[in-house]
């Protein structure tokens, strides 16, 4: 841990609020900062909400996104000190959000980024887009009934746009993660967690996941032909959308964006875990595949091959299963102090059952 992180670690909420107010008033000269408030939400990132009241009288609603620095990261990058990571730091994430915004993408406008050596740590400030983020509410509340009807098609349109962002405009920190790299990454994560259990815990046994092994084999044998490389969001699903009664207003959480096959985003959106029980709607719990594909193609995306999407749905289900393993690893290894993560490890097997079905369907 370096000195910045130590400094970062010692900030309490009042200090963060004061530093934020100071930074914001420098960026918006003469403005007053009001309503600084820590929002609930992600464990790996802190989100703060605040208002800036400008001298001419208009009010900006803003969001600060920062790494809390107190638990180490709770993302996969926390594994073994980030040996193999493809997740972005906040500076790169802010650059990417800017590039997508300038290309006309549905993303919050970034106002300013704060570098790592600042007392607040690596973080950035963007527009606060009002709307609902909680997936179960978006899927069940009457207020979003109309939104649900159009969201699958809209997701296709949004993805076509972001996959077409000019590669030259993307930040240089984005990593190439085509299918081979992703498979290698998740293989290493799965084996690393299992080896840790065998070598460094009292139980002293690895984990065995024959269904994951069968899936890795199937993924090697059924790999799609080389695809054009472009921007991939990487976690495009309900829970990372800000939604209003009319539909999606913004796409959040760009931290595992990478350069790869855009079909990954379409497949991930169809993974069972994101349906929150609404299995009649395979796309994110709100829509049908045909609508997603039509939105994508009509907005200029390349022709969608349902078999390729199925491939990415299999890979996504595997990825989610391995992330379940990793969630239990966090408290077991001492990476975070959170007993409820332990239970998520026992959900890896649900993905294994799903995977057997998925790879059987297509052989």
> Which residues contact another protein (rule: CB under 8 A)?
40, 205-206, 208-211, 213-214, 216-217, 272, 277, 279, 339-340, 342-343, 346-347, 349-350, 352-354, 356-357, 360
Interacting residues of 239 by C-beta distance below 8 A, sequence separation 6+: 133, 134, 135, 274
The CB-of-42 to another protein minimum distance in angstroms stands at 14
Whole-number Å distance between alpha carbons of 311 and 41 = 31
Closer residue to another protein, CB minimum distance, 214 or 290: 214
Closer residue to another protein, CB minimum distance, 209 or 258: 209
The CB-of-141 to another protein minimum distance in angstroms stands at 19
Q: What is the DSSP string of 12-34?
A: -HHHHHHHHHHHHHHHSTTPEEE
Asked whether 86 and 255 are in contact (CB, 8 A), the reply is no
The CB-of-358 to another protein minimum distance in angstroms stands at 11
The CB-of-214 to another protein minimum distance in angstroms stands at 6
The CB-of-153 to another protein minimum distance in angstroms stands at 27
The CB-of-309 to another protein minimum distance in angstroms stands at 19
The CB-of-212 to another protein minimum distance in angstroms stands at 9
Whole-number Å distance between alpha carbons of 123 and 358 = 40
Whole-number Å distance between alpha carbons of 286 and 278 = 7
**Residue 110, CA distances (Å) to 22, 65, 91, 124, 360 in order:** 18, 11, 11, 7, 45
Whole-number Å distance between alpha carbons of 228 and 103 = 19
**Tokens representing 289?**
């595949």
Closer residue to another protein, CB minimum distance, 102 or 360: 360
Closer residue to another protein, CB minimum distance, 2 or 221: 221
**Tokens representing 88?**
């972005």
Closer residue to another protein, CB minimum distance, 134 or 342: 342
Whole-number Å distance between alpha carbons of 192 and 326 = 10
**Tokens representing 175?**
């990593």
Closer residue to another protein, CB minimum distance, 158 or 344: 344
Burial 120-152 (b: 16+ CB within 10 A, else e): bbbbbbbbbbebbbebeebbbeeebeebbebbb
The CB-of-210 to another protein minimum distance in angstroms stands at 5
Closer residue to another protein, CB minimum distance, 218 or 293: 218
């Amino acid at each position: 841990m370096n000195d910045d992180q130590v400094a970062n670690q010692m900030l309490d909420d009042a200090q963060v609020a004061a530093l934020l107010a100071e930074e914001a008033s420098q960026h918006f000269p003469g403005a007053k900062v009001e309503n600084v408030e820590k929002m609930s939400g992600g464990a790996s990132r802190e989100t703060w909400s605040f208002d800036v009241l400008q001298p001419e009288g208009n009010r900006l609603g803003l969001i600060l996104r920062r790494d809390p620095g107190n638990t180490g990261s709770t993302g996969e990058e926390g594994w073994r000190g980030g040996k193999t990571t493809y997740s972005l730091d906040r500076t790169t994430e802010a650059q990417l959000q800017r590039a997508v915004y300038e290309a006309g993408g549905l993303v919050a406008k970034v106002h300013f980024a704060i570098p790592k050596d600042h007392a607040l740590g690596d973080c950035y400030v963007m527009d606060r887009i009002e709307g609902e983020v909680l997936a179960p509410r978006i899927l069940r509340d009457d207020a979003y009934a109309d939104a649900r009807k159009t969201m699958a098609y809209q997701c296709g349109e949004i993805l076509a746009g972001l996959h077409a962002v000019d590669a030259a405009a993307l930040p240089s920190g984005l990593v190439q993660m085509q299918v081979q790299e992703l498979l290698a990454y998740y293989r290493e994560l799965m084996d690393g967690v299992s080896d840790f259990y065998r070598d460094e815990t009292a139980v002293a046994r690895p984990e065995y996941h024959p269904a994951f092994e069968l899936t890795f084999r199937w993924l090697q044998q059924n790999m799609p032909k080389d695809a054009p490389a472009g921007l991939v969001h990487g976690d495009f699903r309900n829970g990372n959308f800000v939604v209003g009664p009319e539909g999606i207003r913004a796409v959040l959480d760009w931290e595992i964006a990478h350069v790869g096959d855009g079909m990954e985003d379409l497949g991930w959106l169809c993974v069972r875990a994101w349906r929150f029980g609404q299995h009649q709607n395979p796309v994110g719990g709100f829509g049908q595949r045909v609508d997603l594909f039509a939105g994508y193609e009509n907005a200029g995306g390349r022709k969608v091959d349902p078999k390729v999407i199925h491939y990415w749905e299999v890979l996504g289900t595997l990825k989610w299963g391995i992330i379940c393993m990793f969630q239990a690893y966090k408290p077991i290894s001492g990476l975070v102090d959170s007993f409820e993560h332990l239970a998520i490890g026992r959900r890896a097997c649900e993905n294994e059952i799903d995977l057997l079905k998925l790879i059987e369907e297509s052989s």
